[in-house]
């Protein structure tokens, strides 16, 4: 049962009961419809109250039913809402908390609304590439000013009931949550006899105060929502509320909803929504696994990563010690942290007090015994196995029993690192991305012996520090960097075969990436990938790769930091200018290899780069490094700037169909010296 009814004198109180947020799944909808029928037939009942159990009125559609037949099974949400709108006795929505999406549409179809302070009100469908499809775009502007509607519906933001207290949305606004139901019952008695029953549909929609509202909102969206049709479609539906009757407007809304439902951007966003939820489930780790208590953290290494990592914990109030053996590095790291916080203050994102509080939570230390009592220690020292060995041996010696020992290594063998200790079950990889205080992705690397409670604790901690975590197995580069290697290899092959760096970058940026591979490499530093290539080549001298990146580095073209990389740069200017020298270098290199250069289409560039990612993703799945295909998408979306409206490399390949993908890979493979660079 997902809704129950209690009769209290002349009032019927229907309570939606589908934790955690009283989703309007099929069972809830059927139960509400059934309760309404019974209440209608009961001559004693004069008015109906609808509320939710716990802290939510209703969070809208039930995500467990997402994409299943149950979503549209009768009574569908629009049908239930019509039934409520046309009901012969007055219905009062008693909004006790979260009231979003279909939940808000249901409340809007009630004849009255009583809300408590602090209730979260939103129509967030746009975030899934949709619009409210059960009358929301037609009823909201009949209660709220059009400016608020345009902003709420086209960006899906949450508004607190307190900010709507003065609007026509609520008939009663109760500041004391404890008294909400009592106030609502008093109110219901007062309106029980009022006829005709007021219906939102009969009110006129509120015209915008600013005649330019729709044009201005559209032009503000052009850049922000370039690849997403939904925000524009939301405005289209709102405009319909002004010029069409309510019934026509609902039909328009329905037609737009159906159109958006099939749109590639919505399919991608819905895939991401489900993928984010799936990523939190770790194979072999029970959801009820007891967690270790993380009250104090230590970070080893105050370099680029260590400083950023430390900030994540201070941001949520966890004290962090930061250890570096070089006094100058430690000082520089602490200064960088303070500088970052101060610049947040100057941008108005942090108060001066918050800045001071967070800085005070991060304390520098210079010896290992000082960090012994930390519950979690994260190593972020140089990417060299001997250095990691010395750090982990010392940590093993000093850390208290039960402490979690984590490494931020990007490429090294975590199992080997774990074996430097006598407690491999407590060792885990926590691979942050740069800048670590900003990037949302966290790869949690599961070693052969990592204990379930260590995984569960780190997964919960990731949520606390507002990261999206994906669990990866141990291999060179884990999920993200292992795939990146194939992508950057492919980008360099494209140069050998006839592209320029700007052609490759422009093609993939038009596809939606924020930055193409060459601009990105110039930003990160070409010397970093050079070091990694050398190490990989030493381990596998037969590896096929393009030497172009090495040729650049041999000429000192490390990227923006040397004002020369794949492009040329001016001092203090990040604008990439095509380099004649690099273009000549590429041509000469192709001649040396005997490659006949050709014109390559943007479509081929995009497919080769994206399918290089997907093909490696397929192998990562095969090798058990990722638990599910959607985890790989999350890594690329949150850590590597893969365009959201494409849903991730695996989703892209799924949409193309893997038979087609493999055919394409084979075709591309034949193009280059008959080589086997894209082993499929
Ligand atoms: P970095 O060179 O900026 O900083 C390393 C710091 O470690 C230095 O301050 C150094 O003094 C200190 N250090 C070295 N040996 C030490 C020891 N024995 N004890 C204590 N401190 C010691 O390096 P980084 O870029 O911050 O990278 C650190 C780790 O993070 C590496 O494993 C790297 O692969 C990984 N990582 C880096 C990035 C990135 O983009 N930079 C991204 C993800 C992961």
Q: Residue 193's pLDDT band (boundaries 50, 70, 90)?
A: very high
One domain for residues 174 and 246 = yes
According to the model, what pLDDT value does residue 111 have? 98
Gap from CA of 385 to ligand 1 centroid (Å): 12
Q: Return the H-helix or E-strand segment holding 120.
A: strand 120-122
Question: Is the distance from the beta carbon of residue 382 to the nearest atom of ligand 1 less than 6 Å?
Answer: yes
Model-wide pTM > 0.85: yes
Question: Per-residue pLDDT tens for 359-373?
Answer: 999 999 999 999 999
12-55: pLDDT as tens digits: 999 999 999 999 999 999 999 999 999 999 999 999 999 999 99
Q: Do residues 484 and 620 touch, judged by C-beta distance below 8 A?
A: no
Both 547 and 456 in one domain: the answer is: no
Contact by Cβ (8 Å): 399, 297: no
- For 305-342, the pLDDT digits (tens) are 999 999 999 999 999 999 999 999 999 999 999 999 99
Q: Is residue 283 part of a domain?
A: no
Same domain for 201 and 135, yes or no, is yes
Query: Phi and psi at residue 471, in whole multiples of 5°?
Result: -90, 130
Task: Please list the active-site residues.
Answer: 105, 125
Is residue 184 located within the same domain as residue 317? no
How many domains does the chain contain in total? Answer: 3
Distance, CA of 669 to CA of 241 (rounded, Å): 55
| CA of residue 307 to ligand 1 center, whole Å | 10
CA 22-24-26 angle, to 5 degrees, is 125
- Ligand 1: residue of 370, 371, 382 to mutate (most ligand atoms within 8 A of CB) is 382
Q: According to the model, what pLDDT value does residue 542 have?
A: 84
In this structure, the residue with its CA closest to atom 30 of ligand 1 is: 380
Q: Give me the domain span that covers residue 500.
A: 480-669
Residue 270 falls within a domain, yes or no? no
Q: Does 301 contact ligand 1 (Cβ within 6 A)?
A: yes
Q: Compute, in angstroms, the gap from residue 382 CA to the centroid of ligand 1.
A: 4
Determine the atom of ligand 1 nearest the C-alpha atom of 388.
18
> Which residue, by CA, sits nearest to atom 4 of ligand 1?
303
CB-neighbour burial class of residue 151 (10 A; exposed 0-12, middle 13-18, buried 19+):
middle
Cβ of residue 560 lying under 6 Å from some atom of ligand 1: no
Q: Do 467 and 484 belong to one domain?
A: no
- Report the CATH number at residue 540: 1.10.1040.50
User: Percentage of the chain with pLDDT > 70?
Assistant: 98
Residue 278 inside a domain? The answer is: no
Q: How far is the CA of 422 from the centre of ligand 1 (A)?
A: 24
Strand order in the sheet with 159-160: 56-58, 98-100, 120-122, 159-160
Choice from 304, 394, 477 to test ligand 1 binding pocket (greatest atom count within 8 A of CB): 304
The CA–CA distances, whole Å, from 366 to 241, 275, 304, 311 equal 66, 42, 18, 18
Is the CB of residue 520 below 6 angstroms from any atom belonging to ligand 1? no
Final residue belonging to a domain, choices 472, 488, 517:
472
The answer to whether the CB of 391 is under 6 A from ligand 1 is: yes
Last residue of a domain, one of 409, 444, 472: 472
61 lines ligand 1 (CB under 6 A): no
Tell me the mean pLDDT in the region 574-588: 97
Check whether residue 222 and residue 302 sit in a common domain.
Answer: no
Within a domain: residue 287?
no
Q: Are residues 453 and 484 in the same domain?
A: no
Q: Give yes or no: residues 53 and 187 share one domain.
A: yes
With beta carbons less than 8 A apart as the criterion, state whether 567 and 579 touch. Answer: yes
Determine which residue's CA is closest to atom 39 belonging to ligand 1. Answer: 434
pLDDT at 671: 65
Cα–Cα dist 257/647, whole Å: 20
Q: Is residue 679 part of a domain?
A: no
Closest Cα to atom 15 of ligand 1: 381
Q: Is 408 in the pocket of ligand 1 (CB under 6 A)?
A: yes
What pLDDT was estimated at residue 677? 57
- The mean pLDDT of 485-491, rounded to a whole number, is 93
Alpha helices in 362-479 (DSSP H): 385-398, 414-419, 452-464
Residue 314, domain CATH: 3.40.50.720
The stretch 388-396 carries a mean pLDDT of 98
Residues 36 and 163 grouped into a single domain: yes
Residue 549: pLDDT over 90: yes
Segment 75-132, tens digit of pLDDT: 999 999 999 999 999 999 999 999 999 999 999 999 999 999 999 999 999 999 999 9
Nearest CA to ligand 1 atom 20: 324
CA dist., res. 87 & res. 71, Å (int) = 23
Q: Once rounded to an integer, what is the mean pLDDT over residues 667-674? A: 68
Question: Does 379 contact ligand 1 (Cβ within 6 A)?
Answer: no
Give the mean pLDDT of 216-228.
94
- Per-residue pLDDT, 674: 43
| pLDDT confidence of residue 545 | 87
Euclidean distance between CA atoms 116 and 181, whole angstroms: 9
Question: Is ligand 1 within 6 A of the CB of residue 481?
Answer: no
> 629 by DSSP, 3-state: which?
helix
Q: Is 323 in the pocket of ligand 1 (CB under 6 A)?
A: yes
Q: What's the average model confidence in pLDDT over 605-633?
A: 97
Instruction: Kindly state whether residue 579 falls inside one of the protein's structural domains.
Output: yes
Residue 47, ligand 1, Cβ within 6 A: no
Ligand 1 centroid to Cα of residue 468, in Å, is: 22
Beta carbon of 413 within 6 Å of any ligand 1 atom: no
Nearest atom of ligand 1 to the alpha carbon of 387: 18
Q: Which atom of ligand 1 is nearest to the CA of 432?
A: 43
Distance 300 CA to ligand 1 centre (A): 8
pLDDT at residue 223 in the model: 86
Instruction: Say yes or no: 419 and 538 in one domain.
Output: no
Residues 220 and 346 in one domain: no
Check which CATH number belongs to the domain holding 21 and give it: 3.90.226.10
Taking the centre of ligand 1 as the mean of its atom positions, its distance from the CA of residue 301, in whole angstroms, is 6
Q: Are residues 432 and 513 in the same domain?
A: no
Measured in Å, residue 334 CA sits from the centre of ligand 1 at 14
Hey, whose CA ends up nearest to atom 29 of ligand 1? 380
Which residue, judged by its Cα, is nearest atom 14 of ligand 1? Answer: 381
> Is residue 675 over pLDDT 50?
no
Q: Is residue 663 part of a domain?
A: yes
SS3 314: helix
Ligand 1 atom having least distance to the Cα of 524: 40
């Amino acid at each position: 049962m997902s809704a129950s009814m209690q009769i209290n004198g002349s009032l019927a109180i229907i309570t939606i009961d589908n934790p955690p947020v009283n989703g309007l799944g099929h069972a809830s909808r059927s139960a509400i419809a059934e309760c309404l029928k019974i209440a209608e037939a009961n001559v004693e009942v004069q008015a109906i109250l609808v509320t939710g159990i716990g802290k939510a009125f209703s969070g809208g559609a039930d995500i467990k039913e997402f994409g299943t037949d149950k979503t549209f099974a009768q009574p569908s949400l629009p049908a239930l809402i019509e039934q409520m709108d046309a009901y012969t006795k007055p219905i009062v929505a008693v909004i006790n908390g979260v009231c979003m999406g279909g939940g808000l549409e249901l409340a809007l179809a009630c004849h009255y609304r009583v809300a408590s302070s602090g209730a979260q009100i939103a129509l967030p469908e746009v975030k899934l590439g949709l619009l409210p499809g059960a009358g929301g775009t037609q009823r909201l502007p009949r209660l709220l000013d059009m400016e608020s509607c345009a902003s709420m519906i086209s960006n899906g933001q949450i508004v607190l009931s307190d900010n709507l207290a003065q609007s026509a949305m609520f008939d009663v606004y109760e500041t004391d949550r404890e008294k909400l139901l009592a106030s609502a019952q008093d109110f219901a008695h007062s309106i029980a006899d009022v006829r005709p029953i007021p219906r939102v549909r009969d009110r006129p929609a509120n015209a915008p105060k600013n005649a330019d509202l729709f044009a201005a909102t559209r032009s503000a969206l052009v850049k922000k929502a370039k690849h997403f049709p939904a925000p524009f479609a939301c405005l289209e539906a709102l405009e319909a509320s002004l010029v069409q009757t309510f019934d026509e407007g609902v039909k328009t809304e329905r037609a737009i909803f159906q159109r958006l439902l099939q749109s590639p951007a919505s399919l991608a966003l819905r895939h991401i929504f489900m993928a984010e939820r799936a990523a939190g489930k770790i194979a072999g780790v029970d959801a009820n696994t007891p967690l270790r208590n993380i009250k104090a953290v230590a970070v080893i290494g105050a370099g680029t990563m260590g400083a950023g990592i430390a900030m994540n914990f201070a941001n949520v109030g966890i004290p962090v010690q930061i250890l570096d053996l070089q006094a100058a590095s430690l000082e520089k790291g602490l200064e960088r942290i303070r500088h970052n916080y101060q610049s947040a203050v100057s941008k108005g994102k942090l108060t001066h007090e918050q800045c001071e509080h967070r800085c005070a939570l991060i304390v520098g230390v210079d010896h290992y015994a000082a960090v012994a009592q930390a519950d979690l220690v994260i190593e972020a020292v140089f990417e060299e196995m001997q250095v990691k060995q010395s750090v982990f041996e010392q940590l093993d010696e000093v850390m208290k029993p039960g402490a979690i020992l984590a490494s931020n290594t990007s490429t090294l063998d975590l199992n080997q690192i774990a074996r430097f200790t006598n407690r491999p079950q407590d060792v885990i990889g926590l691979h942050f991305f740069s800048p670590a205080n900003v990037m949302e992705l966290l790869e949690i690397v599961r070693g052969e012996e990592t204990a379930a409670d260590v995984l569960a604790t780190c997964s919960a901690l990731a949520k606390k520090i507002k990261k999206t975590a994906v669990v990866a197995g141990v291999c060179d580069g884990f999920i993200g960097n292992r795939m990146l290697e194939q992508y950057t290899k492919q980008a360099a092959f494209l140069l050998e075969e006839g592209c320029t760096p700007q052609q490759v970058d422009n093609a993939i940026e038009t596809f939606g990436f924020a930055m193409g591979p060459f601009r990105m490499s110039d930003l990160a530093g070409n010397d970093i990938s050079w070091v990694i290539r050398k190490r990989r080549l030493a381990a596998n001298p037969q590896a096929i790769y393009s030497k172009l990146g090495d040729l650049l580095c041999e000429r000192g073209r490390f990227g923006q930091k040397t004002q020369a990389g794949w492009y040329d740069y001016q001092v203090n200017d990040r604008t990439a200018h095509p380099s004649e020298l690099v273009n000549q270098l590429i041509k000469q290199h192709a001649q040396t290899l005997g490659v006949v250069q050709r014109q390559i289409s943007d479509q081929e560039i995009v497919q080769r780069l994206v399918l290089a990612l997907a093909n490696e993703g397929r192998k990562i799945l095969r090798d058990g490094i990722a638990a599910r295909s959607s985890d790989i998408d999350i890594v690329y979306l949150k850590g590597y700037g893969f365009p959201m409206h494409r849903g991730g490399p695996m989703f892209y390949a799924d949409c193309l169909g893997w038979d087609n993908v493999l055919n394409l890979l084979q075709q591309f493979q034949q193009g280059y010296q008959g080589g086997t660079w894209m082993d499929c």
